[in-house]
């Protein structure tokens, strides 16, 4: 990849590209995606209570790209022309295919995503997660699995692309923490490759 910022963390493969899309294009995508997406707010069970996740989400993809997140299996919505165009551009950048995209909508700094790894079996042994950020800049923290100390943080800017691959999800967790500082909305589109096969049928 050209003009990427090397991000050297042991046992991880991370590439950060600031301004992967320029501001006018990123502004237009942000507005169109907020407007056109049928947002959902899944419920999860936390300590025996049903609570809404602190963000809105949507899952798009090829028909067979069913994906389990927030404890539920999600059928993909069909690609819109805009999402298909973004996917095309991304596949040219990565020179690898992706077949689904999870969109997270952080309405303001109160919306967040807790510590996790993207290591569901259907993502394969070395998950490819390519994450496009649009809107407000939010801090993306990384910590080693089994540790509570943040080892690295990145500011994910409007129009940036963060690619996580290789062994990253085996060894590291990430989060988007709540913050009082951010009032503006942010979208994050995480393109993924969902693998199929008998071992992943449920
Ligand atoms: O919003 C982000 O930058 C992170 C999203 C994320 O980690 C995920 O969708 O798995
Ligand atoms: Mn993630």
Domain positions in the chain are 5-38+55-200
Q: Is the dihedral of CA 26, 32, 36, 42 positive or negative?
A: positive
Please, which residues have CB less than 5 A from ligand 2, an ion?
A: 118
Environment class of 73 (CB within 10 Å of its CB; exposed 0-12, middle 13-18, buried 19+): exposed
Separation of 115 CA from ligand 2 center, angstroms? 8
CB of 37 closer than 6 angstroms to any ligand 1 atom: no
Class of domain 5-38+55-200: mainly beta
The single residue listed with the structure tokens 């060894």 is 171
Q: What is the pTM of this model?
A: 0.94
- Quote the pLDDT of residue 201: 47
Separation of 113 CA from ligand 1 center, angstroms? 7
- Quote the pLDDT of residue 181: 96
Q: Report yes or no: 7 and 162 within 8 Å, Cβ to Cβ.
A: no
Q: Report yes or no: 141 and 150 within 8 Å, Cβ to Cβ.
A: yes
CB of 169 closer than 6 angstroms to any ligand 1 atom: no
CB of 118 closer than 6 angstroms to any ligand 1 atom: yes
Q: How far is CA 154 from CA 53, 162, 193, in A?
A: 23, 10, 24
- Quote the pLDDT of residue 192: 97
pLDDT along the chain (202 residues), means of 10: 69 96 98 98 92 96 88 90 98 97 98 96 95 98 97 97 97 98 97 77 46
Residue nearest to atom 3 of ligand 1 (CA): 188
């Amino acid at each position: 990849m050209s003009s990427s910022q090397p991000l050297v963390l042991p046992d991880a493969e991370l590439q950060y590209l600031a301004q992967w899309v320029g501001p006018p294009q990123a502004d237009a995508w942000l507005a169109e995606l907020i407007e056109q997406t049928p947002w959902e707010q899944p419920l999860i069970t936390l300590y025996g209570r049903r609570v809404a996740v602190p963000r809105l989400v949507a899952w798009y993809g090829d028909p067979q790209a069913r994906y389990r997140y927030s404890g539920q299996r999600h059928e993909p919505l069909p690609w819109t022309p805009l999402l298909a165009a973004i996917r095309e551009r991304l596949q040219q950048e990565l020179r690898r295919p992706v077949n689904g995209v999870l969109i997270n909508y952080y309405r303001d700094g109160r919306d967040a995503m807790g510590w996790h790894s993207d290591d569901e079996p259907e993502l394969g042994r070395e998950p490819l997660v390519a994450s496009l950020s649009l809107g407000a800049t939010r801090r993306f923290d990384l910590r080693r699995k089994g540790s509570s100390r943040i080892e690295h943080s990145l500011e994910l800017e409007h129009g940036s692309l963060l690619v996580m691959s290789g062994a990253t999800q085996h060894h590291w967790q990430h989060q988007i923490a709540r913050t009082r500082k951010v009032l503006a909305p942010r979208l994050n589109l995480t393109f993924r490759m969902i693998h199929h096969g008998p071992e992943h049928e449920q």
